[in-house]
Chain A
Amino acid sequence: MNDNNIFELKQVEKSFNKGKESISIFEELNMNIKQGEFLAIMGPSGSGKTTLLNLLGGVDQPTGGEVWFDDARIDSLNEGQLAKWRANNIGFIFQFYNLMPMLNAARNVELPLLLTNLSGSERDKRVATALELVGLADRAKHMPSEMSGGQQQRVAIARAIVSDPKLLLCDEPTGDLDRKTADEILEMLQLLNREFGKTIVMVTHDPSAAKYATHTVHLDKGQFVPEEA
């Protein structure tokens, strides 16, 4: 494996069974993602962007081919191993934030740290640092329902980075936000990529979102295609 590659997809196949029919999404998909890259995956709705992100995140398993992360194949891990792998390596950012509605901002951000052996005070320290980084130090005690969409997404970003994973996977992170708020979120991701060296893979169908990325690929009907004019 190329030392610079954090991900390598080799001949990846993915199909879903719907009743008797099998819907093929990817056939022989090949892809490399470099360490330190901010990759935007664009494409029309239904082109397989989320499915691809799920394969990268170990959330879904390919029906064929190999998914390499660093020097390990993750497509052959079982559910329990994948959960551990995700906890150690991945921060997820969702289109609809996916905060726990019954927890305040700080307790939401703390969730990934509950999977570590850190002490309570150490966890509190890291939560405070992460919230500070996203500019929400003063909202630690606020409930998700008391925050705007942009603020909730920033809490979600804090949650994604609190355990310091190498990789952030974002599925339409600005899909539910207005332009101005979206730009703030994208700037924040850009900062995390540039200043903190996070590798970011972001699914979006918004061309202006892609401008923040270092690289962009286009997906159509399960295939990478050259950028259309």
Chain B
Amino acid sequence: MSSVFSQSAAVISMNIRSLPRRLWMSLAMVLASAVVVAILLAFLAMAKGFESTMQSAGANDVAFIIRGGSAAELNSVLGRDQVNLLENAPGIAKDEQGPIVSAELYVIVDGKKRSSGTKANLPLRGLDLRGVNMRKNFALEQGRMFTPGTNEVIVGAGVLRQFSGFDLGSEIRSGRNSWKVVGVFSTGGNVFESEIWADAKVVQNLYNRGSSYQSMRAQLEPNADIQAIKDYVKNDPRLNQDVQTEADYFSEQGKSLSYIAIFGRIISTIMALGALAGALNTMYTSVSDRAKEIATLRAIGFSHMSAFIGTLAEAMVLAALGGLFGVIAAYLFFDGMNASTLGGSFTQVVFSFNLTTELITQGAILALIIGFFSGVFPAWRAAKTPVIVAFQSSH
């Protein structure tokens, strides 16, 4: 048994040390698997980053209410009378000012991307200070809170990062309206940072919304069941709203980029097949290059198994090395990279690529799969090398 191990270890070490004879082919194999892994990770990190930006925005103990069938805030309308009725739904937490709810507006203003200079839609949210306080991670980074009743806004840190013209003190013009940036806020990296916030009453006014809103958030009592609110809405003929937890709403929105992950997997599978074809060629070359050495070892008494393991290990090492470079490249180039894309409401969502250890594991597994399949067939050929090759004069 110890002999099987020492044979294989010796053969593996000899194969690795013979790599310089096949330097360029071996490097090409490393490079190919590096590229495949890096591409896969880029797509997955993008989808993951978007997903976590959306998901982390949602709270489980906040009910999110929009008009029935409207899917997103942008196309929803809630009248003041409906908001009043909804405030009285069961399970909503109260404090000295009454039910803890926030009725909000959600309109679109223009932004200009810093990177490309192209125009993009940015969400302007109208809310009051009670709504601001419902965002648990909210923190003012610069400046101060907007003063209710004025044209002041605070902008999310993501907006500031990706779009020009939103620095503290700047004037934002949108249609006939003009806003003044008095603060910059963060919300722990989630989707709210892609928004601009202003006083709800002022937004109603400037956008001719009368007393209507678009969405409503309600803080749930501890252990409250959201189903009670759904039933309340269902049983009141004046109400027709979709009720879900804020977490569910954003989680659903976060899936809108999951096609990126699927696309990434398809692309990298196709590329992996290409890399595999090249790697197979490299490994078959390795076996024929080493044929006389393999046969000589077999003549000395080394087993089939050691020739098999040695070749497979060589393939796995090359592919794993490529995988490692791929992960490093993805980490250096993509992790934390900022991007913005259209979110669920046709507004820009600013997010960062997120290369998690789980994704890195997936990249590593892909590299090992390439290594295994490019090694196993050539390894079989290596094991089958006739011993008489050792006595042949060629080579």
Does B93 make an interface contact (CB < 8 A)?
no
Q: Which residues of B contact A59 (CB under 8 A)?
A: 299, 387-388, 390-391
One of B6-14, B254-262, B277-285, B370-378 at the interface = B6-14
Q: Which residues of B contact A7 (CB under 8 A)?
A: none
Measured between alpha carbons, how far is A115 from B391 in the docked complex, in Å?
21
A60 with B7: in contact, given A83-B298, A94-B296 (CB under 8 Å)?
Answer: no
A114 with B388: in contact, given A79-B304, A94-B296 (CB under 8 Å)?
Answer: no
Are B390 and A102 within 8 A (Cβ)? no
In the complex, how many residues of chain B place their beta carbon closer than 8 angstroms to a beta carbon of chain A?
24
Are A112 and B301 within 8 A (Cβ)? yes
A115 with B14: in contact, given A59-B387, A92-B390 (CB under 8 Å)?
Answer: no
Does A205 make an interface contact (CB < 8 A)?
no
Does A111 make an interface contact (CB < 8 A)?
yes
Are A102 and B17 within 8 A (Cβ)? yes
Q: Which residues of A contact B303 (CB under 8 A)?
A: 80, 83
Are A111 and B3 within 8 A (Cβ)? no
Are A115 and B300 within 8 A (Cβ)? yes
Residue in contact with A114 in the complex, picked from B3, B296, B298, CB distance below 8 Å? B3
Does A24 make an interface contact (CB < 8 A)?
no
Are B6 and A114 within 8 A (Cβ)? yes
Q: Which residues of A contact B17 (CB under 8 A)?
A: 102-103
Closest to A119 in B: B2
In the complex, how many residues of chain A place their beta carbon closer than 8 angstroms to a beta carbon of chain B?
30
Residue in contact with A83 in the complex, picked from B14, B292, B302, CB distance below 8 Å? B302
User: Could you list which residues of chain B lie within 8 angstroms of chain A, going by C-beta atoms?
Assistant: 2-3, 6-7, 10, 14, 17-18, 292-293, 296-304, 387-388, 390-391, 393
Closest 4 CB pairs of A and B: A87-B301, A102-B17, A98-B296, A59-B387
Are B300 and A112 within 8 A (Cβ)? yes
Q: Which residues of A contact B301 (CB under 8 A)?
A: 83-84, 86-88, 112, 115
Does A116 make an interface contact (CB < 8 A)?
yes
Measured between alpha carbons, how far is A83 from B301 in the docked complex, in Å?
4
Measured between alpha carbons, how far is A22 from B387 in the docked complex, in Å?
21
Measured between alpha carbons, how far is A111 from B387 in the docked complex, in Å?
16
A95 with B393: in contact, given A57-B299, A59-B299, A115-B300 (CB under 8 Å)?
Answer: yes
For the complex formed, measure the closest distance between the CB of B302 and the CB atoms of chain A, giving whole angstroms: 7
User: Could you list which residues of chain A lie within 8 angstroms of chain B, going by C-beta atoms?
Assistant: 50, 53-54, 57, 59-60, 79-80, 83-84, 86-88, 92, 94-96, 98, 100-103, 111-112, 114-117, 159, 171
Residue in contact with B393 in the complex, picked from A79, A96, A100, A112, CB distance below 8 Å? A96
30 example contacts (A-B, Cβ-Cβ < 8 A) are as follows A54-B387, A54-B388, A80-B304, A83-B298, A83-B303, A86-B300, A86-B301, A87-B300, A88-B301, A95-B393, A98-B293, A98-B390, A100-B293, A100-B296, A100-B297, A101-B293, A102-B14, A102-B18, A103-B14, A111-B300, A112-B301, A114-B6, A114-B10, A115-B7, A115-B301, A115-B302, A116-B3, A117-B3, A159-B300, A171-B391
Interface centre among B299, B302, B391 (most CB of A within 10 A): B391
A92 with B299: in contact, given A59-B391, A98-B292, A117-B3 (CB under 8 Å)?
Answer: yes
Q: Which residues of A contact B296 (CB under 8 A)?
A: 92, 94, 98, 100
Measured between alpha carbons, how far is A57 from B292 in the docked complex, in Å?
17
Closest to A111 in B: B300
For the complex formed, measure the closest distance between the CB of A161 and the CB atoms of chain B, giving whole angstroms: 12
Closest to A89 in B: B301
Are B390 and A114 within 8 A (Cβ)? no
Are A117 and B2 within 8 A (Cβ)? yes
Measured between alpha carbons, how far is A101 from B10 in the docked complex, in Å?
14
Closest to B9 in A: A114
For the complex formed, measure the closest distance between the CB of A194 and the CB atoms of chain B, giving whole angstroms: 25
| Other 9 A-B pairs with CB < 8 A, given A114-B3, A114-B302 | A50-B391, A53-B391, A54-B388, A60-B387, A83-B302, A87-B301, A92-B390, A96-B393, A114-B10
Measured between alpha carbons, how far is A80 from B302 in the docked complex, in Å?
9
Measured between alpha carbons, how far is A103 from B17 in the docked complex, in Å?
9
Measured between alpha carbons, how far is A215 from B301 in the docked complex, in Å?
28
Measured between alpha carbons, how far is A12 from B299 in the docked complex, in Å?
21
Measured between alpha carbons, how far is A116 from B393 in the docked complex, in Å?
29
For the complex formed, measure the closest distance between the CB of B232 and the CB atoms of chain A, giving whole angstroms: 77
Measured between alpha carbons, how far is A92 from B302 in the docked complex, in Å?
13
